[in-house]
Amino acid sequence: MHDRRQIIRAAIAAPLACALPGWARAATPPTDDVAMARFIAGLPKAEFHVHLEGTLEAEMKFALAKRNNLSLPYADVEAMKRSYIYHDLPSFLKIYYDGMQVLLTEQDFYDLAYGYLSKAASQNVLYAEMFFDPQEHLKRGVPIEAVIGGITRARADAAKTLGIQSQLILCFMRDLSAASAMEALDAALPYKDKLVGVGLDSDEKGNPPEKFAEHFAKARAAGLHVTMHCDVNQENTLGNIRTALVDLKAERIDHGGNIVQSPELVALAKSLGIPFTVCPTFSGKVMDDGQPINALREMLDAGLKVSVNSDDPAYMGSEYITEVLVRAQKDSALTPAELVRIERNAFETAWIPAEQRDGYLARLDAYAQSWDLTA
Ligand code: ES4
Ligand code: ZN
């Protein structure tokens, strides 16, 4: 007899449902785990909250270390993966920044980005906006042209070969100095046509959004979009969400789950039409009076525009967007209609031209209808 998890894994890996002829397609919405996994695998998706350096799988880390004549303090891939133990944002970030030290050349950044894009395309991600952390690379003496150049070349090849479209968001590392972030912005601005926006990541403690007001203003003046992390359960977490929305005029919030603790901020975000990129693997639980609450469920129920994203999959059990959605469906009791709504939110809030958006929404509608769901 087959193990149930094995059947679900097989359903995820099976040919995409939308590629099947009409007669072979499911005509009714998914009702069991296997059909649900197949439905999620075939769902046309967009992803906006994925750190490229967080997609650096242990296998690739070893390959790049070898190519760059670097030694790693682990005997093998398994030992490296066993070291990925963290309990909060700072302990996670330490592992994440250590890991990216092997990225040195244009080809390294190409391989990293192409690796993510091919994985995403295989999971029916049609469009991705990807974060990168240039300051950490500039610190090691890697020129910005190698970082942006390698990623841009991978984006073009992936679009041509795999059909996946993507754009790039430069993140300021909020725990480094404001001057360091400005240097990175100034270094990147000559390549602004390769970027769609700027973001803010790394350790939020003691590094509120207003530390970067000038940077965001400058980026906006250069025509870039603006998003920022408001990680869950941070010091002054609601104050930081308010500052991001009101003072820094963020167009999007990455995570931001604690907003459900403030009806006033929920109303503000809804009136501004702000999208939230939720990553259930990392920021799924908001602590409310010492009790965990399910951020995704509460945000959906509050009527916020949420998308679901994988964040740093290489450090989170190598679960990419399909696996993240399969888990989220169970943890948050998502209905098929809610899953479609999540992807509709994503395509509706992507930083893309109207024509491209309409094409994605038409594909999503057709997929929903093929499962007998009204889109
Ligand atoms: C991050 Cl989850 C998260 N939060 C803040 N900064 C980050 N960098 C990479 N992943
Ligand atoms: Zn993140």
Residues 36-62 have pLDDT tens digits of 999 999 999 999 999 999 999 999 999
Residue 98 lies in a domain: yes
Identify the nearest ligand to the CA of 132 by its number: 1
Is the pLDDT reported for residue 340 higher than 50?
yes
* Phi and psi torsions of 199, nearest 5°: -135, -175
What atom of ligand 1 comes closest to residue 89's alpha carbon? 4
Count: domains in the chain: 1
Half-sphere exposure of 213 (CA within 13 A, CB side): 9
Instruction: Tell me the C-alpha distance between 40 and 31, whole Å.
Output: 12
Residue 19 lies in a domain: no
Residue 26 lies in a domain: no
In tens, the pLDDT along 103-122 reads 999 999 999 999 999 999 99
Annotated binding-site residue? 51: yes
Nearest-10 crossing angle of helices 33-42, 336-349: 20
Identify the nearest ligand to the CA of 284 by its number: 1
What atom of ligand 1 comes closest to residue 279's alpha carbon? 2
What residues contact residue 274 under an 8 Å CB cut-off, 6+ apart?
A: 245, 250, 251, 252, 253, 304, 305
Whole-structure pTM value: 0.94
Residue 1 lies in a domain: no
Is the pLDDT reported for residue 15 higher than 50?
no
Residues with CB under 6 A from ligand 1: 51, 54, 89, 96, 201-202, 229, 231, 282, 311-312
Residue 257 lies in a domain: yes
Annotated binding-site residue? 331: no
Percentage of the chain lying above the pLDDT 90 cut: 91
CATH number at residue 80: 3.20.20.140
User: Residue 17's pLDDT band (boundaries 50, 70, 90)?
Assistant: very low
In tens, the pLDDT along 55-109 reads 999 999 999 999 999 999 999 999 999 999 999 999 999 999 999 999 999 999 9
Residue 9 lies in a domain: no
Domain span at 45? 31-370
Query: What residue type is 373 in one-letter code?
Result: L
Annotated binding-site residue? 255: no
Residue 197 lies in a domain: yes
State in Å: Cα 1 to ligand 2 middle. 40
Residue 15 lies in a domain: no
